[in-house]
Structure 1
């Protein structure tokens, strides 16, 4: 098997599994939208989706694919403790820490 064939075989083995994992993770995130079980700050959720969209756009760009995402939501009152924890998380993610790469 040539080096190119090995690379293609490795990609064919790895890529679908990683896509499946990503889709499963997104379904789990969607489960958190159940208002019967959770309450959230719309601003924080919007910010999280912006971070997710940035990761999608950056990753897609590596494959020569581009897309745009618009986020539209109404804000609601923030929880101070959540605010602090979330701000730390966002900063860590933007610095490349605390997120699976």
Structure 2
């Protein structure tokens, strides 16, 4: 089984997005923080990018960051909702009342 290292992420607070660079280009995950919750609103990838494992690892790294900051996570983007459905161990990060 191939292991993929956690991607290096930059938190661009001015643009409210996490950023990482791949050979295909920059991948961003847009967010908004309100009342101790981080809303993950969009993933932007280059057109030629199709590495789902990399996206999963990127989301995991962002969620680990949220755990460190004691933030609840509200996934609003379908790809991130799909990640939560596949990785039930992260459902504890969802705020009360949010069901996926």
Q: Which protein has the bigger strand share?
A: 2
The TM-score, its normalising length taken from structure 1, stands at 0.32
Q: Which protein has the bigger helix share?
A: 1
Structure possessing the higher radius of gyration over alpha carbons: 1
The TM-score, its normalising length taken from structure 2, stands at 0.32
Structure with greater contact order relative to length (CA < 8 Å, sep ≥ 6)? 1
